[in-house]
Amino acid sequence: MERKVKTEAPVSVGGITIVPVVELRLGCRRASRRLFFSAVKQPRAVLITTDGRWRAFAPDGRELPLDEVLAEVSSSGSGLFSDEDG
């Protein structure tokens, strides 16, 4: 199963920018003469910036360490704003 964490398109409202971070999992299996494919896309975090200060939050509202979220995105081969990568 392939796993990738990437950012989606940022949304700006007022002086706030919101960047969704999602986890994609793609799988393919072969069983006898059949192929099985699966794909899952789940929210991983939300990055929010106001006045140039970034903060990261989990889907349940807990604040996350920003450096850990950014490291997870970049270790998946994505940049912060990687909307064009597939």
Does some domain include residue 6?
yes
The range of the structural domain enclosing residue 52 comes to 2-75
Determine the pLDDT at residue 52. 85
Note the pTM of the prediction, 2 decimals. Answer: 0.78
Does some domain include residue 65?
yes
17-72 per-position pLDDT tens digit: 999 999 999 999 999 899 999 999 999 999 999 888 999 999 999 999 999 999 98
Does some domain include residue 47?
yes
Does some domain include residue 86?
no
Sorted by sequence, the CB contacts under 8 Å of residue 46 that are 6+ apart come out as: 18, 19, 20, 21, 56, 57, 59
Task: Look at residue 57 and give its three-state secondary structure.
Answer: strand
Is 83's pLDDT higher than 90?
no
